[in-house]
């Protein structure tokens, strides 16, 4: 099976001195779930941003569907990100003045896939129903709990039917129960919507639910475990 995303000998420096990632090789298959662990400052967010085409590597290649991201111009890269990659952040970054439903629809406003232009609204409502938010469609973020806000952010990441979702400490602001239910949700989405998932996390509970765990230390992958 062809890799969905592949990193080949990726290095990342900021300025001249700081070497954040060193010679990273990583292969994400279409149905993979991967947890990235590591101490603060070990380069987890940098790695995620490189996988998602938000940051270019200093050297090495990032391939999406076998094609180097470096072959794309800025516009093509933005279109790829919008269509094929969903992002979830620790702070949900929902727009406070929009309702849950409107927040979910934001990514459909640019570079829509044709079939989605017609169905985005229905799909957004359906997905929000699926995660138990049918009564919250027209609430603003401030009227939702932390866990509900994060579920809206997850659905927003999925609305364009991406092939991979990248999550940066998605349970960072949730308690243990919230972490478990977001873990359930992410696993369900991987199965039902056939989307690959790479999540940075400090939570061993969340990491244990992914098929693979990587640990970053001093810019290298120090440990890679196949979870049960």
Ligand X SMILES: Nc1ncnc2c1ncn2[C@@H]1O[C@H](COP(=O)(O)OP(=O)(O)O)[C@@H](O)[C@H]1O
Query: Could you tell which of Mg ion, ligand X, none binds residue 210, using a CB distance below 5 to 8 A set by kind?
Result: none
- Binding residues for ligand X, rule: CB under 6 A, are 14, 18, 20, 38, 40-46
Query: Could you tell which of ligand X, Mg ion, none binds residue 41, using a CB distance below 5 to 8 A set by kind?
Result: ligand X
In whole angstroms, give the CA distance from residue 43 to residue 200. 10
Which CB, 6 or 169, lies closer to Mg ion?
Answer: 169
Which CB, 45 or 203, lies closer to Mg ion?
Answer: 45
For 87, phi and psi rounded to 5 degrees?
A: -115, 135
Q: How many CA atoms lie within 13 A of 35 on its CB side?
A: 25
Task: Provide, rounded to whole angstroms, the least separation between the CB of residue 163 and ligand X.
Answer: 23
Task: Provide, rounded to whole angstroms, the least separation between the CB of residue 217 and ligand X.
Answer: 10
Task: Provide, rounded to whole angstroms, the least separation between the CB of residue 141 and ligand X.
Answer: 24
Task: Provide, rounded to whole angstroms, the least separation between the CB of residue 202 and ligand X.
Answer: 10
Q: Select the residue interacting with Mg ion from 42, 45, 179, 213 (CB under 5 A).
A: 45
Provide the CA 94 distance to its chain's centre, in angstroms: 15
Task: Provide, rounded to whole angstroms, the least separation between the CB of residue 165 and ligand X.
Answer: 17
In whole angstroms, give the CA distance from residue 70 to residue 150. 32
The candidate with the shortest Cα–Cα distance to 27, out of 2, 10, 6, 45, is: 6
The candidate with the shortest Cα–Cα distance to 104, out of 115, 94, 90, 96, is: 94
Under the criterion CB under 5 A, does residue 42 sit at the interface with Mg ion?
Answer: no
Query: Could you tell which of Mg ion, ligand X, none binds residue 46, using a CB distance below 5 to 8 A set by kind?
Result: ligand X
For 214, phi and psi rounded to 5 degrees?
A: -115, 145
Which CB, 48 or 182, lies closer to ligand X?
Answer: 48
Contact 116, 93 (CB under 8 A): no
Under the criterion CB under 5 A, does residue 190 sit at the interface with Mg ion?
Answer: no
Q: How many CA atoms lie within 13 A of 115 on its CB side?
A: 5
Q: What residues line the site for Mg ion (CB under 5 A)?
A: 44-45
């Amino acid at each position: 099976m062809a890799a969905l995303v592949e990193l080949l000998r990726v290095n990342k420096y900021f300025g001249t001195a700081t070497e954040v990632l060193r010679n990273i090789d990583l292969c994400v298959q279409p149905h993979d779930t991967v947890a990235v662990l590591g101490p603060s400052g070990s380069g987890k967010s940098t790695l995620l941003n490189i996988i998602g085409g938000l940051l270019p590597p200093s050297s090495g290649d990032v391939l999406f569907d076998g094609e180097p991201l470096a072959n794309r111009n800025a516009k093509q890269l933005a279109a790829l990100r919008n269509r094929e990659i969903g992002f979830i952040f620790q702070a949900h970054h929902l727009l406070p003045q929009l309702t849950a439903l409107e927040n979910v629809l934001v990514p459909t406003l640019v570079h829509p896939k044709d079939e989605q232009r017609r169905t985005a609204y229905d799909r957004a409502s359906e997905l929000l129903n699926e995660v138990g938010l049918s009564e919250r469609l027209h609430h603003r973020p401030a009227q939702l709990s932390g866990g509900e806000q994060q579920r809206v952010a997850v659905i927003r990441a999925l609305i364009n039917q991406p092939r991979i979702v990248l999550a940066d400490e998605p349970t960072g602001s949730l308690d243990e129960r919230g972490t478990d239910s977001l873990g359930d949700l992410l696993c369900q989405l991987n199965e039902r919507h056939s989307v690959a998932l790479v999540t940075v996390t400090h939570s061993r509970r969340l990491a244990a639910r992914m098929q693979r765990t990587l640990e970053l230390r001093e810019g290298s992958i120090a440990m890679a475990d196949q979870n049960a």
